């Protein structure tokens, strides 16, 4: 069993990168990828911990991209995280995120929410490696007793229909995929159904066809939110369109307490034999640079 989509405290998870590796070892996983949002700052500790634990670890990052007024997420796997072009793109995304954070705070304050950026940053335990985002705002809103739960914080303030929602600047998929390949990695479309039931198969197929033209390598067939029908559809689409299947739990630690490492909500199993074809494709990409 493997897990190729996880998050640490370097972005919006609660386990440190080394704790995440240790948890994977204790869970009995044969391999795990760290795919923090828009940052690779946890990868050095993660790789070191993997070596010490004799655990296969995959360096990765999750990159959000703009897609016709919405967004899609790419899980980049087997990356060279020291690659200058990759780091330049991630730095640009993070700088735009900081500007967005300031605007969210201004909107909250205009609605009578008396929070400071220092209080938001405190939710990261003031760890400079962490990427501050909406989960940190949500926890501060709960701590300040403006909301009963982080779920309510998103529905009332921070979600797409919330009163303090601010859209993000995001790269286009073409730029992101090119940069991932230039960093020797492969690009996987993460959570293709976005946690939404009833997405038409043909709509997902058309999205995949557009992304394949841009160089998409694979598809998250296994994902914690997939229904049995969605997993079957994703498996069929991957086979039909010759995309490499991948999968993971999207584990965030205590921030998503119902999602367990390697198992998702309890029934997900990502087969070990998916890993080698993904690694081989990454080798191919590195030779093509």
**282 token code pair:** 């990454």
Contact 46, 75 (CB under 8 A): no
Per residue in 194-230, pLDDT (tens digit) is: 766 667 888 899 999 999 999 999 999 999 999 999 9
Q: What is the pTM of this model?
A: 0.86
Q: How far apart are CA 126 and CA 137, in angstroms?
A: 14
Contact 134, 128 (CB under 8 A): no
**61-to-112, 127, 212, 233 alpha-carbon distances in Å:** 36, 19, 20, 25
Domains of the chain, start order: 2-90+172-288 (3.20.20.140), 95-158 (1.10.150.650)
pLDDT of residue 78: 98
Cβ-Cβ contacts under 8 Å for 220 (sequence gap 6 or more): 5, 75, 188, 189, 190, 191, 192, 234, 246, 247, 248
Per residue in 43-64, pLDDT (tens digit) is: 999 999 999 999 999 999 999 9
Mean pLDDT of the chain: 93
pLDDT of residue 195: 60
Reported confidence tier of residue 256, pLDDT bands at 50, 70, 90: confident
């Amino acid at each position: 069993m493997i897990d190729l989509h996880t998050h640490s405290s370097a972005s919006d998870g609660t386990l440190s990168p080394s704790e995440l590796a240790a948890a994977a070892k204790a869970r009995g996983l044969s391999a795990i990828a760290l795919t923090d949002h828009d940052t690779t700052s946890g990868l050095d500790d993660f790789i070191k911990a993997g070596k010490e634990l004799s655990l296969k670890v995959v360096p990765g990052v999750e990159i959000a991209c703009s897609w016709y007024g919405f967004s899609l997420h790419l899980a980049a796997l087997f990356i060279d995280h020291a690659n200058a072009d990759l780091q330049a793109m991630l730095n640009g995304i993070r700088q735009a995120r900081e500007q967005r954070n300031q605007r969210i705070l201004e909107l909250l304050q205009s609605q009578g929410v008396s929070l400071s950026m220092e209080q938001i940053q405190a939710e990261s335990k003031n760890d400079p490696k962490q990427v501050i985002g909406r989960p940190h705002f949500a926890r501060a809103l709960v701590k300040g007793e403006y909301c009963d739960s982080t779920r309510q914080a998103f529905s009332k303030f921070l979600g797409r229909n919330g009163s303090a929602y601010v859209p993000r600047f995001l790269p286009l998929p073409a730029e992101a995929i090119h940069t991932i390949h230039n960093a020797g990695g492969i690009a996987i479309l993460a959570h293709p159904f976005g946690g939404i039931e009833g997405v038409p198969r043909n709509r997902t197929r058309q999205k995949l066809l557009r992304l394949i033209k841009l160089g998409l390598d694979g598809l998250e067939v296994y994902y914690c939110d997939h229904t049995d029908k969605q997993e079957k559809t994703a498996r069929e689409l991957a086979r039909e369109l010759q995309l490499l299947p991948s999968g993971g739990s999207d584990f965030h630690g205590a921030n998503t307490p119902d999602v367990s490492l390697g198992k998702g909500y309890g029934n997900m199993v990502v087969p070990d034999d998916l890993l080698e074809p993904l690694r081989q494709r990454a080798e191919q990409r590195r030779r093509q640079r």
